[in-house]
Structure 1
Amino acid sequence: MKEKILVVCPGRGTYNATELGYLKRYHGGGGAQVARLDSYRAGLGQPTISALDGAEKYSTSLHMPGDNASLLIYACALADFAAIDRDRFDVVAVTGNSMGWYLALACAGVVDFDAGAQLVNTMGGLMHEKGQGGQVVWSMSDADWHIDPVKVAEVEAVLAEASRDGRAVHVSIRLGAMVVFAADDDGMKWLMERLPKDDRFPMKLNYHAAFHSPLLDHIVPLAHAANPVADFGEGMIPAIDGTGRVWSPKGFDAEGIYDYTLGTQINRTYDFTRAVQVAAREFCPDRIAVLGPGTTLGAPVAQALIACGWRGLKGKADFQQRQVADPILVSMGMAEQRGVITG
């Protein structure tokens, strides 16, 4: 009997210096799919995916902006998805973080590979050219990856204070035991000064706009104009969005998922925590696979699972112990784990 797996797709910021050469290292350069992406990008006068992945050195000014990073991450993630051994594993559902929703649509078959590429590349370009503000990450976790009620109260206090003072500060993403704020430039500066500090947080995300907040209301009509509804279909695998809604194959109309993807998903909070929890509870996977590139989503996924007690998970130490012998969470961005589910 095949094992059931839930697939989680990565968002922006997951292709960093350590991921340089990801396609070459794990997928022999990417084959025909990457060749199609290269042709598409070359036709637009953009650096090709092969050139970006095959660069001699990683450059933040080249690899990190959305107009380049988005499709590069798409190429890596979709290649990882194709590498899952379907003789041993049944993908029962897909979800993703932020931009990972677009990738989840492609994995689920709601959009085909080429339409998914156009969606990702177009939205990456729009955010790069028309986006405003930025994002700041802050941790609400205690040492054992539980959400600390005191820190939750601090987040609520920060939001209340910002609202009272008329600052443009919003919750962008609920990310496991972390929260991602979206803000305009003034709000970004205020958050970096106002939020309690430790050795890592608050963390400003470079080259990120104020995703999933009203600060991007102006992007919605541009996104509709640039992406045709005809690209969206009925899907083949259930997909869980950033509100926790399950879009089951043939159980929705194309206009509905199109409007969410290019509407609410852009300018309202993305609850990745809820998406993971709903997917895990509703589809009861044997394992959860996080597509590459990068490994930064592993902790938020585990924290979301701990928060809902999935399969009796009690905390970080418990999770790490279970990972040793037979990992329940497989990060395909980790060389030592990807072989668990690849052919």
Structure 2
Amino acid sequence: MKTAVVICPGRGTYNAGELGYLARHFPDPAMLAAFDAQRAAAGQETLTALDGAAKFSPATHTRGDNASGLIFAASLGDYLSIDRERIEIVAVTGNSMGWYSALACGGALAPQDGFRTANTMGTLMQDALIGGQMIYPWMDEDWVPDAARKRELLERVARIGAAPDRQLYLSIDLGGMLVLAGDAAGLDAFEQAVGEQATARVQQRFPMRLANHAAFHTAMQEPVAARGRALIDRSLFGQPHTPLIDGQGRIWWPEASDTGALYDYTLGAQVTQCYDFTRAVTVAAREFAPDLFVVLGPGTTLGGAVAQSLIVAGWENMAGKQDFRRVQDRSGLLVSMGMAEQRAIVA
């Protein structure tokens, strides 16, 4: 039996290629029907209808009030599909809204309560849609860490954000990427600042604005966090049955967690402060030393950030992309359940 840390993806992972993911993979029809009932009662289109649409619609499927429910259900379904006779899950973590999925996978929230939390927060963020997000890399295409480059970019973000007429923050520390969030003036100022350099469009894609994304994990989301606390009761939160690693690298241990503090973090700092995914993966590696890192679906885009985070951590002496490929070829360290050939390794 192999040990595994399970990683739940966040927003932006249910795209055209994932249409029909729930129909293909969700293992519990009664549970999915209960999720649908929650959405129908709230006047929302059901997950079954969204997932079964004839065509993927970015305007519909990437909205926070739809994407959060789809992603939560896909991730939980994948978690339930892991073969426990072959895989021992030693810890669970996630990226951004993947924290809500992690809470349900790890047992701190019952599945229906986890769905209610993810769907409620996604809807509140969509309704408010405060600010926006963009991605910018601090690693090169070979995934070689450049600490000076990262420090320079973060100092630039801090200078822009300190101006009285704009807001800009580090939203997610995502492996070799910085996810930045702010108001239009702050995001525009960053684009202008990096555009003055010769490497303005690095790796042909960046800086990249994220459609239908608000300024997650910043102080700008405090109204959303407050509304979430008003709608989601702390009594829903219980002891996890599996260790959980949050966006600050804190471990929530079974039978030893302060459930009130877990609620306060989830509907407080998790919403309004930077989410350090890199640290979460680093802690997962160093504290649990798993045989595998299993990234749940939907999508496959989080795998690169996991690999980059392990490189930052110096895990198995990896210092760049070629080292990761060597380790991956030897041990199959990273498993992405969104890829059919890798899914079969654990499901």
What range is the shorter-chain TM-score in? over 0.9
Deviation at 1:154, TM superposition (A): 3.0
> Equivalences for 1:37-116 in 2 at 5 Å?
37-116=35-114
Moved more, 161-170 or 285-294: 161-170
- AA aligned opposite 1:329: L
Distance 1:163 1:34 in 2: 42
2:161 aligned with 1:157, yes or no?
Answer: no
- AA aligned opposite 2:46: T
Moved more, 216-225 or 98-107: 216-225
Match of 1:261 in 2: 266
Give the CA RMSD over aligned residues.
1.3
> Equivalences for 1:263-278 in 2 at 5 Å?
263-278=268-283
Deviation at 1:25, TM superposition (A): 2.5
Match of 1:168 in 2: 167
> Equivalences for 1:299-338 in 2 at 5 Å?
299-324=304-329, 326-338=331-343
Moved more, 16-25 or 80-89: 16-25
Distance 2:283 2:172 in 1: 16
- For the Cα contact (< 8 Å) 1:131–1:216, is it kept in 2? no
- AA aligned opposite 2:318: L
Deviation at 1:131, TM superposition (A): 3.1
Long gaps (5+) in structure 1? none
Distance 2:289 2:155 in 1: 36
| Deviations 1:68-95, CA, capped at 9 Å, x for gaps | 0001001110010001000011100000
| Deviations 1:231-273, CA, capped at 9 Å, x for gaps | 0001100000000000001112211000000000110100000
| Deviations 1:287-321, CA, capped at 9 Å, x for gaps | 01000001111001000101111122232112123
Match of 2:296 among 291, 295, 300: 291
Deviation at 1:96, TM superposition (A): 0.3
- Percent identity among equivalent residues? 48
Long gaps (5+) in structure 2? 195-199
TM-score after normalising by structure 1: 0.96
Moved more, 149-158 or 244-253: 149-158
| Deviations 1:165-194, CA, capped at 9 Å, x for gaps | 332100000000110111012212222322
- For the Cα contact (< 8 Å) 2:3–2:290, is it kept in 1? yes
Matched position secondary structure for 2:346: coil
Distance 2:213 2:170 in 1: 14
Distance 2:128 2:213 in 1: 12
Match of 2:243 in 1: 238
- AA aligned opposite 2:186: G
Deviation at 1:143, TM superposition (A): 3.0
Matched position secondary structure for 2:328: helix
> What number of residue pairs does the alignment pair up?
340
| Deviations 1:113-153, CA, capped at 9 Å, x for gaps | 00001000100110001230011100011232122234213
Superposed structure 1 runs of 4+ greater than 4 Å apart? none
2:254 aligned with 1:228, yes or no?
Answer: no
- AA aligned opposite 1:248: W
Distance 1:68 1:131 in 2: 14
Distance 1:338 1:281 in 2: 25
Matched position secondary structure for 2:145: coil
Moved more, 259-268 or 31-40: 31-40
Matched position secondary structure for 2:136: strand
Distance 1:110 1:81 in 2: 15
TM-score after normalising by structure 2: 0.95
- AA aligned opposite 2:321: K
- AA aligned opposite 1:21: G
Deviation at 1:325, TM superposition (A): 5.0
- For the Cα contact (< 8 Å) 2:157–2:190, is it kept in 1? no
Matched position secondary structure for 2:66: helix
